Every structure is written in C-alpha cells, then in structure tokens.
Amino acid sequence: MTTQEDNTAITVLIGRFFRTLNERRFEGDWGKEFFTDDVIAESPHGAARGAAAVRQSQQAVEDWAAIQYMNTDILIEADAAGPDSATASWNSLMTHIHHESTLEKLGQGLDPLFTVGGVWDVDLRRTADGWRFSRTSVRPIWMSGTAPQLPAAAE
C-alpha cells in the first residue's frame, strides 16, 4: 500500500520530470534523478532499456524546437509486487514545435505545431534515493498537426 507520503513523492517526481523535459535541463546525469538503471521506456519512437531508454527520453525532446507537456488526473496505486513498487497513470497534453529545418524538409506551409493527447502509464520502484520510474509508456489517443518522421522500425 502506498501512503499519502508516497503519493506525494511520486506526484512530485512526475512533476519534476516533466519540468526538466519542458525546460530541457539535462545537466549531469539527470536520468538518475528519475529512472532505475534497468528502466524500460515505450513510446511511438520504439522501446528501449536502461541507458538507451534515458537517451531516448532526452532525444525525444531534442528532436523539437520546443515542447510543453501538461499532465493531469494522476492516479497512483500500490503494486501487488510489494511495498516498494507502485503504478501510476495520467492524461497528458503534449505540444511540440517543429524545428524550421524539419519543416523545410517536410514541405512548405506545414503546421509547425504537433499536438498529442495521450495517456502515460508507469511502474515505479522505491530506491535508496526515493521513487524512480522502472517503466514508462506513453500511448497517444489523438494527434493534430504535422506528425514527426519516426524511424522505420517504430512506424
């Protein structure tokens, strides 16, 4: 069972994570603040594990001129695996602005905005340093604007 203190710590972890993405603050070993060493990240960009998952999270931001992710309705539940694990999910409105160079490659007159409404599902593990994501998954529900050019394996 997660306590109110756990729920607060997990909610703060989620908020801090998205703030660093929105502000592109990737100083030092930023991933250690948010992920377990064996984290699995699943997204339309594909799936990755460990350090590759952390790089994928950072690259997904750097592929855009700017982003802003806004999250709401965070639901946190204890995990049956034990007192040091939990799951969480939330709704997210994810706004992306294409780089000018990307728009030039894709064609003139395209919308610079790409907006996604989706759901995040995560598994969390309590570590000596606090709660960390052990799995992240983002699932788009709707999209609007000029979509990114995903790697062929992810399409």
User: For 83-142, what is each residue's pLDDT tens digit?
Assistant: 899 999 999 999 999 998 888 888 777 889 999 999 999 999 999 999 999 999 999 999
Residue 72: give the domain boundaries: 4-149
Tell me the CATH number at 52: 3.10.450.50
Position 147 pLDDT exceeds 70: yes
User: What is the number of structural domains in the chain?
Assistant: 1
What pLDDT score does 154 carry?
42
Q: What is the 3-state secondary structure (H, E, C) of 54-116?
A: HHHHHHHHHCCCEEEEEEEEEEEEECCCCCCEEEEEEEEEEEEECCHHHHHHHCCCCCCEEEE
Residues with Cβ within 8 Å of 30's Cβ and at least 6 positions away in sequence, in order, are: 20, 58
pLDDT class of 80 with cuts at 50, 70, 90: confident
79 has a pLDDT exceeding 90:
no
Domain presence at residue 155: no
The answer as to whether 154 is a domain residue is: no
Predicted pLDDT of residue 81: 76
Average pLDDT, the chain: 91
pLDDT at 149: 67
pLDDT reported for residue 142: 97
Residue 152 banded pLDDT, cuts 50, 70, 90: very low
Each residue's pLDDT tens digit, 13-50: 999 999 999 999 999 999 999 999 999 999 887 899 99
Among the listed residues 10, 15, 142, 139, the one whose alpha carbon sits nearest the alpha carbon of residue 84: 10
pTM score, two decimals?
0.89
